[in-house]
Chain A
Amino acid sequence: MRTSVQELIAKSKDKKSKKIIEKLIPILLFLVASVSVLTTIGIVLTLIIETVTFFTRVPLADFILGTTWLPFANSGAQFGIWPLIVGTLKITGIAIVVAVPIGISAAIYLSEYASDNVRRIVKPVLEVLAGVPTIVYGFFALTFVTPVLQSFFPEIKIFNAISPGIVVGIMIIPMIASLSEDAMSSVPKSIRDGALAMGSTKFEVAWKITVPAALSGIIASVVLGLSRAIGETMIVSLAAGSTPKFDGDFTGSIQTMTAYIVQVSKGDAGYGTTIYYSIYAVGFTLFLFTMAMNILAGYMSKRFREEY
């Protein structure tokens, strides 16, 4: 006895289990996909709820306006966020000064000057820099960069803002270089060729054509680098010390928002103490900073994508 194809199709269509699977799978996968949304909601809710508890004990105005951060004082602990923000900005500032010129120069070199072979080798090697764990960078800052700096400028302390700032800068170079290079190589070749045909040198093409055309993409890469520098934790925890300061000194120990969270977590602050809740308030501030940066970067890169 032989079954016809039609019968086979009909039989296969009638299988109940198959129908159920086809209906169930999309629902199941939707639930899986919503985990990432739940994570975001979880982060925001956690930060907000614990931060609100913090503000029932420490007035919001003291937190936002205060310029003294002394959480561990036995009597009269002070929670003014500014010293931590200033510490974070010092690190970020130095990192940007290191990473922007080097990163963008590397991007221009790779997209305008380098031959295909050079690009094929240099790009992945640069990416290795991005894959080095931050704890390794922290160790490098503490045991190599700081002593080298000290041999030139003896007034620099073991824990300072300059050395971790430089190393955070090295860490974000590959990010700025590769995102800027992407933006620059998506500038149409015809525009470049037009400029070259008019007698421009390669540098004039890069500087007057490619960079301006890719500007929003380049800015987006810098803003993303900023955001990464603000959120970087281990390099500053190891090499910047733990002295929250509200001043313009770069040579001595400072503290950043991230390093404070690590310091408290390491010391195992008792659950329910004001110090315990303070890490959420600091975390929330950090989250707002990086979120603003990420949204700005997203907006900038969207603008550059629409250009062509």
Chain B
Amino acid sequence: MRYIEQEKVVRRMNGRMVINRIFQGFFMFATALALLALVILLYRIVSQGAGHLSFEFLTNFASRFPEKAGIKAALVGSIWLMAVVAPTSILLGVGSAIYLEEYAKKGRITSFIQMNISNLAGVPSVVFGLLGLTIFVRALALGNSILAAGFTMSLLILPVIIVSAQEAIRSVPRELRDASYGMGATKWQTIVRIILPAAIPGILTGSILALSRAIGETAPLIVVGIPVIIQFLPEGVMDTFTALPMQIYDWSSRPQAEFQTVAAAGIIVLMVVLLFMNSIAVYIRNKFDKSY
């Protein structure tokens, strides 16, 4: 005995099943389209720039002649920039996160700071450039230095680091804290010896992703007034410099077609740096993915 008449079901549902199939196909196609865009992008850049990659490209300074143009100053400059951005933004970000998660009382001031952080994350990077130009370059007279650009970039990625550090700290289980307090530890001891070590993988993962965003940012550097053609390496944080995305921007906007190949080669170097940083982040996340 059958309770459902199959034929009737098919007759009534068939049209709707077909619609379901069609839309399923459409949704899949749209998703595939987005992935295809990524594939084309990567393929284009690799096929265009790979030929120009060489040891000389990494060790030459910028040049008017495309075949001689190298990326040395920009590569070293980006490393200098990170040397300022990483400690500044991580210290400020983790400090803010500890305050918000462990000390701040839930109240108006805290929710104001929290709201402020999420709004700050939505401010266009070019506006951060204007802030850096006014405060660091002019008011504090740091000039077009690594320090001025580094501070600007640190403020830009600060919201991302705060939010990810907050999540990491929040996910440390209550029992660990209680056990620490139960042993007679003070609040600060608990934070330094228990909470931070447990939260470090999460904090590092978030920070590295934020730093990799800073490495690719161009607009704030242009607005702060970072030059492009530099034939020397910086010796201190007060020196001026150039960075990978600035150099790529300069090559891309040159009219000679040969420079497009150079720009693509520069992009490959930038993407390799990003890929390297992201894989470190993934490695940390997997290695320290402890469950309590």
Contact = CB atoms under 8 A, between A and B. Distances in A.
Does B bind A?
Answer: yes
Nearest to B48: A143
A131 interface: yes
B117 A36 contact: yes
A238 B30 contact: no
Judged by DSSP, the binding face of A is helix
A42 B130 contact: no
Contacts of B186: 18, 22
A203 B20 contact: yes
Interface stretch (A71-79, A149-157, A244-252, A287-295): A287-295
A173 B34 contact: yes
Contacts of B99: 26, 29-30, 32-33
A126 B34 contact: yes
A207 B27 CA distance: 12
Judged by DSSP, the binding face of B is helix
A138 to B, nearest CB: 7
A243 to B, nearest CB: 15
B34 A102 contact: yes
In the complex, which of the residues A126, A139, A290 has the most CB atoms of chain B within 10 Å of its own CB atom? Answer: A139
Contacts of B134: 46, 50
A138 B252 contact: yes
Interface residues of A, number: 90
A219 interface: no
A60 interface: no
Contact of B34 (A129, A280, A290, A297): A129
Contacts of B127: 43, 47, 231, 283, 286-287, 290
A36 B96 contact: yes
B280 to A, nearest CB: 14
Interface in A116-144: 122, 125-126, 128-129, 131-140, 142-144
B44 A140 contact: yes
B119 A291 contact: yes
In the complex, which of the residues A110, A129, A206, A234 has the most CB atoms of chain B within 10 Å of its own CB atom? Answer: A234
Contact of A144 (B24, B44, B215, B224): B44
Given A30-B99, A46-B134, A135-B249, A36 B34 contact: no
Interface size class of B (residues with CB under 8 A): 35 or more
B111 interface: no
A140 B209 CA distance: 23
Contacts of B216: 131-136
Contacts of B118: 294, 298
Given A135-B248, A140-B41, A143-B48, A227 B122 contact: yes
A295 to B, nearest CB: 8
A286 to B, nearest CB: 6
Contacts of B40: 144
A137 B13 CA distance: 45
A231 to B, nearest CB: 3
Contact of A21 (B16, B116, B188, B263): B188
Contacts of A43: 123, 127-128, 130-131
Contacts of A142: 252
A36 B252 contact: no
A26 B103 contact: yes
A231 B248 contact: no
B242 interface: no
A45 B31 CA distance: 43
Given A30-B99, A122-B35, A105 B30 contact: yes
A134 B212 contact: no
In the complex, which of the residues A43, A133, A136 has the most CB atoms of chain B within 10 Å of its own CB atom? Answer: A136
Interface stretch (B63-71, B196-204, B266-274): B266-274
Minimum-distance CB pairs A-B, first 3? A231-B124, A133-B216, A105-B30
Given A101-B30, A138-B252, A143-B264, 4 more contacts: A43-B128, A173-B34, A224-B122, A283-B130
